Each structure stands twice: as structure tokens, then as C-alpha cells.
Amino acid sequence: MSSTQLPDLSPKIPSESSSESSPESSPERLPDSLESPHKGQRGLRRLFNALLYSLSGLSLAFRHESAFRQEVALAIVLMPLACVVDVTAGERVLLLGSVLLVLLVELLNSSVEAAVDRIGFDTHRLSKRAKDLGSAAVLIALLMLTITWALLAVPSLIRIGATLIAASR
């Protein structure tokens, strides 16, 4: 084995002809059913279960993560606004996408935090790094949202406000 090639550490399944197979032959893969009890499902049942797990994740995030609740409140305001503001279809997609990106990154950050907390609540430099990196990702998504809305929606909202003020005089 060369120094750049890593050894295969994946678990091997004994086969009926294991004495006949050579060590150089390709390693056997674990059947999906042995990797996870959920991997054996296929078709519509798998899709339905995936939908239920996703809805459960959204519900858990809303119940347990105050930052996610705040960002959902922001999305409730901004998404309808993105649909009525006078911008092109492409700009509307960017406005809506920037809001959804914040929610997506917050969900990923929350999952990292939950996994780190599952390992232990004691302070460790790698745990801190993982949590800080997730927080930085959320910050960058929020900055992207702010810049996108400032460049695309604010000029249109200023025009609407000026029209309303002029009409009231």
C-alpha cells in the first residue's frame, strides 16, 4: 500500500465464499438494511417517511430554537412583501431565496448545535469551533439577505412610499 492510499476500514460482511475471495478483491458493501433500519424502505413509503421526518424537524426547530422562531417571523413579513414589490421575476426569486437561505442555514446550525450538545455540555475547543462556525454561517446568510433586500426591494419600497405620500397631499 502506498503512503498516499488509505486503508479500507469499512466493515466486511462474511460471505459463503469468503475463503475463495482474495484480499485484493473489491470490498463488499453492507446492505442498506444493515447500515440503518430506515434504509431498506423504497418508493412512495420512503418519500412519505422523509416528508414526515422533515415536518418533524421543522416542528422541533420551531419549538426549541428561538432564533429559528425569530427568522420565521421575519420570513412571514418578507415573503409576502417580496411577492408584491415591483421587481422583475429574477429579482423576486433572489428576494425569496435569500429569506429561505437564512432558514436553511439556521436549521443546519441548529442540527450542529444539537449534535455537539448530545456529545456533552462540557466546554471543548472543537465543540466551540463547531458552534461558532455554524453561527458564522447564519450571520453570512443574514448579511446576504440584508444586501439583497437593500439593493433590490428598498428602491421599489421607497418609490411606493413616495407615491403614497404624494397621493395623500
Look up residue 102 and give its DSSP letter.
Answer: H
**Catalytic residue selected from 20, 28, 71, 106:** 106
Within 8 A by CB and 6+ apart from 159, the residues are 86
Q: Is 0.75 topped by the overall pTM?
A: no
Q: Write down the domain spans for the chain.
A: 27-64, 65-168
Strand locations in the chain (E): none
User: What is the distance between the alpha carbons of residues 104 and 8, in angstroms, rounded to a whole number?
Assistant: 34
Report, at the CATH architecture level, how domain 65-168 is classified: Orthogonal Bundle (1.10)
| Model confidence pLDDT, tens digit, residues 109-137 | 999 999 999 998 888 999 999 999 999 99
Q: What is the pLDDT of residues 35-47, one digit of tens each?
A: 666 666 788 999 9
Is 106 part of the annotated catalytic residue set? Answer: yes
Q: Which position has the higher pLDDT, 147 or 33? A: 147
